[in-house]
A and B are shown apart, each in its own frame.
Chain A
């Protein structure tokens, strides 16, 4: 290995990395610091002699207590969780079967079908919510969790299908053929051999689907109206800004609590997640 000059490693590696890290992590830090800052400090003038914008000396959990006790935040958390899990499960189920079929079965128009599924994923939700709103109203699902559980799969299923299709294609088809010769039916080979091997792929599809539905904003904003039905991303911005007053402490506490589950899910499965996206099966 050629040893690079030290300044090169600094200029091309450490410094850009540091800039990137600060850029990515600073908002989270700001969120955290604001969430634990007492109100007295929050609404202090920037020019005040005692102003310490980047740290606080009297951290408090008051905003979290208020958020939990005085707002419907726990309810939103539960709503978001329920909706995200349900729509993830639906999408994973459909994505698994569709992805498998597109990767393995030979049938007429398979290629066209695969492409059209992908194209539906490309239609932006900001356009799609208009016709969807009509459908939701016709089925009288407005302001129920089902409005979201049934609309999130419109973008989650194409996504899961494509991710899983790609993953299934990396699994040698001989494994399945061997299982079928060994005495399994096609379905048996799929559930006993292919799915267990595809666990990293399935997990990353699941994590992605869960995150997308957890963070989803526009459908949740449009289809849900009563405060106790809302999800975290919508609830935080619509209910914690009353009139023109920003309850910064609660806002940030809510945002923080809302992002923790996603961060947990990611860190828990990060290894699977990486192999799932890069697809690596060794026979």
Chain B
């Protein structure tokens, strides 16, 4: 059990500056997920914590030790890799026991720990097999088992579920979460999948181009994104962005790309400084619904249905409105036809505004 601290962490390869001034405090027993598009530096950050990459500058602390110059084996961590990295020439038992053997644990202790871990993961009957005789899900379990037998201070996961099929991924996701609740070990988890990030993380760190964009609890990131990137990255389908300018005509109005909606009074004071300037309006698909007669006209948009995607529990409507396209997530009862013009009502309080230049949330 230990906290992990990263202070002004930087990683430069020859030309690429992969990780830039990362400051992060991962608390004891916390499950933190690093998420971002490929090449955002999340894996590099994790590998620096593991000791697999040299640190260009900055400091990493695990527990109360600065580990900058410690080799991976002395950091008391365990890591699960995307391709499982099981030793192909060893049985499952030997794979799981390897770390303990290297640390010269007595044989009975090794046996006990491997048995315990196998039991937790439901792989007792696989112990004598070789990795190539296992399915993808089983291999992933063994890889997790190999990590937990050592009772390390920190678990590191590098996209562990990416090689599994969709159904298995959901199942393993739940198991990992249950495992974490049971073992109460600090965990750092890297993924490019925002759903994984949101469901697993106590806190989520969104990264892009080597910079941390935002750190926060999953729902916080969703409802209060710090900038346009986070707003667009978290949530599926992604947030709709519309470039508008703010005009004053009996209250503040957002106007642009053929659309005109009123700014909710709750946002008006914050936005008054941007009067006459360009901003980006962000609308989540679920904050758009088909308008009924009672909706005030200043919060509705006329749109033409382009594509209807019925998902069962909901319907996604791809729409053309003015010169832009929107996605709306509506009730499954809605009957919309392609090319039909409908009125969309938006939830004015939930609209987000971003500075068009800096992309920061206003």
Contact = CB atoms under 8 A, between A and B. Distances in A.
Interface of A: 172, 174-175, 177-185, 188, 193, 196-197, 281-283
Q: Kindly list the 9 A-B residue pairs having the minimum CB-CB distance in the complex, ordered from nearest.
A: A183-B102, A182-B99, A174-B85, A178-B85, A174-B81, A180-B72, A183-B73, A181-B72, A196-B89
Contacts of A282: 88, 131-132
Contacts of A185: 71, 73
B345 interface: no
A181 B86 contact: no
Nearest to A184: B102
Nearest to B13: A106
A281 B131 CA distance: 12
Interface string B126-153: 0000011000000100000010001000
Given A172-B83, A174-B85, 16 more contacts: A174-B81, A177-B50, A177-B81, A178-B146, A180-B71, A181-B52, A181-B75, A181-B79, A182-B78, A182-B98, A183-B73, A183-B103, A197-B88, A197-B89, A281-B88, A283-B88
A181 B87 contact: no
Nearest to B77: A181
B241 interface: no
B84 interface: yes
Given A181-B78, A183-B102, A283-B131, A175 B50 contact: no
A283 to B, nearest CB: 5
Contacts of B82: 174
B89 A182 contact: no
23 contacts: A172-B83, A174-B82, A177-B52, A177-B72, A177-B81, A178-B79, A179-B98, A180-B71, A180-B72, A181-B79, A182-B73, A182-B98, A182-B99, A183-B99, A183-B103, A184-B102, A196-B89, A197-B87, A282-B88, A283-B84, A283-B86, A283-B131, A283-B139
Contacts, number: 70
Q: What is the predominant secondary structure among interface residues of chain A facing chain B? A: helix
Nearest to B52: A177
A178 B82 CA distance: 11
Contacts of A178: 79, 81, 85, 87, 146
A177 B71 contact: no
A197 B95 CA distance: 14
B73 A283 contact: no
A177 B98 CA distance: 13
Contacts of A283: 83-86, 88, 131, 139
A180 B83 CA distance: 16
Given A281-B88, A282-B132, A182 B146 contact: yes
